[in-house]
Structure 1
Amino acid sequence: MKHLKGFPYKKALVVGLAKSGFAAADLLHTSGIDVKVNDLNADSTGEQAVKLAAAGIPLITGSHPFELLEDREVVIKNPGIPYENEMVMEALRRNIPVITEVELVTYLHDGPIIGITGSNGKTTTTTLVHRMLEEDRRNVRVAGNIGEVACEVARRTGPEDTMVIELSSFQLLGIDKLRLHTAVWLNIFDSHLDYHKTRDNYIEAKSRIMKNQLEEDSFIFNNDDSIVSTFREKSVAAAVPFTLEENGRGASADENHVYFDGEIVAERKKIVLVGEHNLQNCLAAVAACKSAGVTNEAIQAVLYSFQGVEHRLQYVEEKKKRYFYNDSKATNIRATRYALEAFENPVILLAGGLDRGNSFDGLAPYLKNVKHLVVFGETSAKLAEVAGQLDIPCTPVDSMEEAVARAYRNSKENDVILLSPACASWDQYRTFEERGNKFVEAVGNL
């Protein structure tokens, strides 16, 4: 496994453990950097803590003692820790650089890097790009929010490998030298404002995906997003748009085809992913891969077979001409809206979950194809109220198995049975993945 090359600091403090903190600490230590770890809530007897102790890496838990900063030259912050954290604020007050783990890739990987960000669609687009590159027989490694920690993946890459990294705004705030040979910015919606405080701060964080790009690099941007598209003028890299409008530049689509720079790349009717938002993700992936020289045949092979990322409008199966989709990742109204807009067939919608105090009136305009609503969890009554206002039949249930059974009982041929909860899962399930798995299991048991 590779070690850091040219890293300009000799003494580091990692703030926040979890996967990225542990990976960073291990990498720094094996690269000969003097490293300490500070985590307020870490379990000092947990697996990661035991491994740190075995390696001789100090772990300080329960508080943030400022004396840890006295001889430190850099702080590597867990992306989820806000900049208002007292240790982070004190480091900045002392003019100690604060970076996130993904910055370490700069000192590990010599090959091309494709970075992908956006408020929605990051994982789907990252997966599409990854698979298209693989189909084109490229050596490719995927990392970031989608799975493995970026610096951990970069330790195993060679110069012939392409890294594809899904990047959150939290990670992008902590980059300094990291250069993305291809930067993809999908969209921008109000999100994570509890962390960023203002919309402008959030937009600025996302725009850092262009930081350090050179003229020979590519900036892939959503020309249909009024905010994202303004940043084309600020990019020194070659700006490559993608758009749902018919357009001769970059990636575009009409009713029949997907194009790149006016050339037909794929037949639209053969694309498996449903929904306009997913078509945008496909176009972003086409723009990124065509900019990297991927063949049309490789792109087609993926677009014509890829059924979606697990729990993100994922096609599950067909039973007696009823079509089941798992969209458990839809934890807010906007995400459920996108899912509903993807279908022209009648829909039986399974929804509900954690009550965060919001109403569901904003969902009402998108329920026009919903023939029956099956509701569960803390928000059952609120969703049932919206259904009543629209005269949509509604059935409250206590479990996912019952929800699927009731939905199937009320369905007819060509109906879509869609789990798209519009709520977080934590009232009944530990994660949205667990909720989605229960849905898939219940469909299999019908």
Structure 2
Amino acid sequence: MMSYPIRDSEDKFRGVVVATLKNEDLTAQLGSITKNKNISAVLTDQSGKLIWSSSMYEGLHKSDIYSLCKDHKYLASTELGIHRVQLENNAQCDFQFLDKWGMFSIVAENRASADQLIRQYEQQVVTRNIIILIVFTLLLVFLGNQLLKQIESRKLLAVLNQRNKAIIDAMPDLLLTMRVDGKIIDHEVEDSFPLLVDADKLNGMNIKQLLDPDLVERKLALMAATVKTGEPSTIEYPLVLNGKEYYFLERLTALDDKHVLAFIIDITSRRAAEVKLEWQAFHDGLTGLPNRLMFFEFLNKLIQNYRRHKREFTILFIDLNGFKEINDNYGHHVGDEILKHTANQLGSILRETDTVARLGGDEFAVLLPETSPSQAQRVIKSIVETIKQPLIHNDKSLSVTASIGMAACPQDATSADELLNAADKRMYDVKLTER
């Protein structure tokens, strides 16, 4: 039985509320939440007298409950008035005094059991995380292997594609079976491959009927060497077909001591690309003149010719005056026109045996084979007068002048660098006297 006084707003006593709790009913309602034998739920009055308990686990004693109720005012509590204490018997108690009912509500538990449950839970979490990590690692290894297989597959595919391309590129446009005397026994030809005669007329013909005698002689010699040594041989040659020049690569392989296979490929496009690259390596892209590299090749040939046959020659070093001003005032595109105009002027007055080159910027050089210094002076005067002639650009007259230095072989030097340096120095001497 519990009683609770009733007071009005002025705190005057107005009566008592009496409640009777049947212990069996309370146990039935609250006992279901405390079935764990290591947890106890307890209700006491203000003095600590037991009103109701679910069950008392072995580590909790009534004396502990009495002491808690007696000293609760001196114990720390939370904002909600809940006290928590640790008992010597490894019990932890949470309790609260219910002012309205004048009772203590106490929950006690065995900490050892709770700690064990926590450790079990932590162990389960750790085990689960380890399993997840192992599975994730295996997945990464699997995906990594799959990626490596894909990379290797792509590399292999690229190699196969390259090999197939090489095989296709190596397929002959014309395949001939020939006797070593040049007679054609059989042939296979691509539809677009250019031929000297109709394809159906090839079998039975001899290459002597089709090709230039010099080329026939070279091919017969190669066929004889091929069947003798058993080693393949190759030959490249040009042919004019229907007014157009073609280049062919022919590979000869011995069938026996009397017959060869000739694999012939049209390399006209490749040859044109090679010629273009070779031209670009030795010529100035703007003016089309030989560049410094080709100039030195020609110069060294003249020096060798002098050493063998004592044929003198002269070299001219030309620098344009006024070019920088035109380039700065009118732009590089106009400056380029001046350089091309000068190149054309020089080409128009020099002999076919002479060589004019652009060394770079506005500097040009001229080689005059079998020309003495006195003869070179007349050429210099002609060049100076010619370069003075203006270029008309957009109704504007643009002109430059030339300062020219000369060096002679053998009078000034007999090496390429020394000759060019001597001509360069004399060009600057001329430039100083012209100011």
Fold equivalence (TM over 0.5): no
In terms of Rg, which structure is larger? 2
Q: Which bracket does the TM-score occupy, shorter chain normalised? A: under 0.3
TM-score computed with the length of structure 2 as normaliser: 0.20
Richer in strand (by share):
2
Richer in helix (by share):
2
For CA contacts below 8 A with separation 6 or more, give which structure has more relative contact order: 1
